[in-house]
Amino acid sequence: MSVKEEEIKNFSSSIGITKHDTPMLDELEHGPWPSFISGIKRLRDQHPEERINKMTNDLLGQLEHSYETRKGYWKGGTVSVYGYGGGIIPRFSEVGDVFPESKEFHTLRVQPPAGNHYTTDILRKLADSWEKCGSGLVTFHGQTGNIMFIGSTTDATQHFFDDINEYGFDLGGAGPCVRTAMSCVGAGRCEMSNINEQKAHRLLVNNFTDDVHRPALPYKFKFKVSGCPNDCMNSIERADMSIIGTWRDDMKVDQHEVQEFIKLKGRKYVIDNVVTRCPTNAISVNDDNTFEIDNKNCVRCMHCLNVMPKALSPGDDRGASILMGGKRTLKIGDLMGTVIVPFMKLESQEDWDKLVELAEDTIDFWAENALEHERCGEMIERIGLVNFLDGIGVDVDPNMVATPRESSYVRLDDWDQEAIKWYEKKKANTWKHLKN
C-alpha cells in the first residue's frame, strides 16, 4: 500500500466511513480516458467535509448496486424553491434504507453567463456555495446549457438557491418550459463572429424568464445562438429556435495572406485541403497564387475560412439566419432546424425587437397547437411548414431551406423569378387536373 493510500485509509477511518466495495465501477477507471468514478472517489476520500465523504460513498455504493442488478433506483418527485416551479431535477432513492446518505440526490440547474464567460472569483463562489449545500459534484455544462449541481437534499436546495441568488445567479429550466439558452463564446475570442451572441442570448432568456421558472408548455423549448455557420452550439440539431450568425455579401479575401499561406503550405496542400473540399467548387487558385471566389455559389460551409482565417473572413453585411424545429431523438427521430428567416439584421433596437417578437409568436402558436410532450419541430412535421408559417405570421420565402449544409443560409440570386415560374407551373398543373 502506498503512502497516499495509507493516508486515505486513515482519513476514512477517522470519520467513520466503511467504504463500499465497487469492483464493477473500478473497471471504469481503466483505459486512457478520465473517469467520473475517479472524481467521485476523490470527493469520498480526500474532501475535508465529512458530509460530502459520506454522501459520495453511498452514491458509489448505490451505483455499484445498479450495475450489479442492471436496474436504476432513482425515482422522481417534486422539489422546488419558493416562487419557482422548475429548475430542480428531483432524485429520491428506492434503496435509501441501504444507502441512507444518498437517499436524496437532487440536481439543481443554474443558468450560466451568456457565452460561458466566468471570472475565477465567481467560480470559487459557486464552488463554496455548493460545498456548503451539496455533494461537491458539478458539471459545466449540461446539453441545455445549465451548470449542473448534482446531489443535494430537499432541505439544502433552498439554502443553495438563496446563496447563489445573492451574487446574481438564477435557476435554469427543467420540465415542460423554456429551457436555459446557450450561446457560443462569440466575438470575445472568435474572429468568425457575425452577431452579438450574448445580447441575443440574454434578450431571449430575460424575456421568457417566467416560462423558464414556471413550466406550463407542452414540452421543452430551447434557444441556442451561434455566431457563425460553424454552429459550435449544435443549435441546428438541438434547438427549437436557432440563431446562426451569417453574412450576405461577398466574403473578404486578403490576397497577400492567401499567397503567404500557399508559400508556407504549398500549392498542392491548398488545392487538396481547401479548393477541392469546397462543396460547390466556389474556389479556384489563379496562376499568381491568388484566390477567385464564386460568392453566389458559396454555401457558408465555413471550411475554407476555418483553414485560412487570416486570408478569408466573413463579409461586412452581417446578420443572422433563424431556424426552427431542431431536436434530438425522441418520438419521430432527429430533426434538423429549417431556415425560417434566411437573413435578419441584428443591429438596431427595432431589429432586436423583431427577433424577440418572432420568438414570442412561435412559442404562443406552439403552446396553443402542440400535442402534449410534442416539440416544436414535431408539431411542424405534423401540421406542415406552410401552416406553421401562417400561424406565426411569416410569409413563405423561396430562400427557406430545410438542409442548410447543402443549400446556402443566404441565397437571394434569381430565386424570386424561379419561384414565380414554379408557382405558375403548379397553378397550370392544378387547372389541368381540374379540367380533366
**Type of residue numbered 375:** R
Q: Which residues of the chain have pLDDT under 50?
A: 3
pTM of the entire predicted model: 0.84
Residue 426 confidence (pLDDT) = 79
Residue 5 confidence (pLDDT) = 55
Residue 330 confidence (pLDDT) = 79
Residue 408 confidence (pLDDT) = 61
